[in-house]
Chain A
Amino acid sequence: GQQLNQSPQSMFIQEGEDVSMNCTSSSIFNTWLWYKQDPGEGPVLLIALYKAGELTSNGRLTAQFGITRKDSFLNISASIPCDVGIYFCAGRDTGTASKLTFGTGTRLQVTL
């Protein structure tokens, strides 16, 4: 099946640094979602975006729905050790029975 491209694939950062990651698609989506997955667990929804250009925050996390509707960005400010995990973007097209297409994932590791 189709997957969305996420970059970077992985990143090592120091505690306190800001983090940016993005997700791109060849298709247009009407909804963009960002999830975080810890090892051995299911993904947890972080932020949902419903409108092109929308900028939404959830604590230290900020995500944007790209104007072209083919991309999205997630920023994490002042990273902490608990931010470690894999971040997945997911796009949803209302024409596909609400199915999600997931990104390839960005693995984040935070060093003290």
Chain B
Amino acid sequence: GAVVSQHPSWVICKSGTSVKIECRSLDFQATTMFWYRQFPKQSLMLMATSNEGSKATYEQGVEKDKFLINHASLTLSTLTVTSAHPEDSSFYICSARVGQRREQYFGPGTRLTVT
């Protein structure tokens, strides 16, 4: 149980285009999901908290108009990187909160490369 998937696993896009990343909880419902970004050889940094049926809560310094989050169902949250630039190249990882103790289980990540 508690399997989280992400799609795509990797994507290369041109500067100025938008990219959508999906995060799905496969065997449970998740009212809350989280989006992280990880640069090479660094730790995970929380970008935003995604709540089903309501607006996402963004961490300080994260542009909400650039990183659009939609959590329209209990099993799917999406992150859209709009007008991507090379500095947005990173490893994007989602997690979902599970169970009574609300542990976070992570997806396999999506590597985004902007050329």
Are the chains A and B members of one assembly? yes
Q: Is the CB of B46 within 8 A of A1?
A: yes
Q: Is the CB of B45 within 8 A of A1?
A: yes
Chain B interface, number of residues (Cβ within 8 angstroms): 27
Q: Which secondary structure characterizes the binding site on chain B?
A: strand
Tell me whether A40 and B109 are in contact in the complex, defined as CB-CB below 8 angstroms, given that A33-B103, A45-B103, A50-B101 are known contacts: yes
A21 at the interface (CB under 8 A from B): no
Q: Is the CB of B101 within 8 A of A40?
A: no
Chain B interfacial positions (CB closer than 8 Å to A): 4, 6, 32, 34, 42-46, 49, 57, 59-60, 91, 93, 95, 97, 101-109, 111
Chain A interfacial positions (CB closer than 8 Å to B): 1, 3, 31, 33, 35, 40-45, 48, 50, 88, 97-100, 102-105
Sample of 8 further A-B pairs with CB below 8 A, known A1-B46, A41-B109, A99-B46? A3-B43, A33-B104, A41-B108, A42-B95, A43-B44, A48-B101, A97-B49, A100-B46
